[in-house]
Amino acid sequence: MHEQGGRPPAGTLGVVSWNIHGWKDGLHAANGRRIHELLARLQPDVVALQEVRHPFQRWFASDFGANGQEDPKANELDLLAERLGMSCVFFNPGMNFGGNAILTRLPILRKFEHTLTAESSGDDRALVGVELQLPGYDLR
């Protein structure tokens, strides 16, 4: 994975971590299309997303030529994974600001999740992880 885009060189693992702020940019405008475009260009093997609102339906209808009609069964995260050719896991134990997602081109051997409880503030956090299969060994 190079900044200019393209698949990672053989023998390397391309990883992207991104706080997507609920599918919105710094000006609170929907930015799902731009998230997709950048990830499609970078072509990472693994993507870790934070503050993911899921299910969340907004940008694919207008940004991908659906003539302004959203598929009520579609949502941004699943469509992003599908368009990138990746599997996806998601975890959000009911937090308002969104949960965490991992998208990957690699086979997922195991998913694990944990709620990190903040006793003093009640502001819980989510942790999601995966064990991935790589040729010759497993990656956790």
Task: Give the tens place of pLDDT for each residue, 75-94.
Answer: 788 889 998 999 999 888 66
pLDDT of residue 117: 79
- The whole-angstrom separation of Cα 38 and Cα 4 is 10
Backbone angles phi, psi at 46, to 5 degrees: -135, 135
Domain ranges for the chain, please list them: 15-105
Give residue 72's pLDDT: 54
- Pick from 110, 115, 114: which is nearest to 140 by CA? 110
pTM of the predicted protein model: 0.79
Mean per-residue pLDDT pooled into runs of 10, the chain (140 residues): 66 90 83 90 94 66 48 74 93 75 94 82 78 78
Options 3.30.110, 2.60.40, 1.10.10, 3.10.450; CATH for 15-105 is: 3.30.110
Contact at 8 Å (CB) between 107 and 88? no
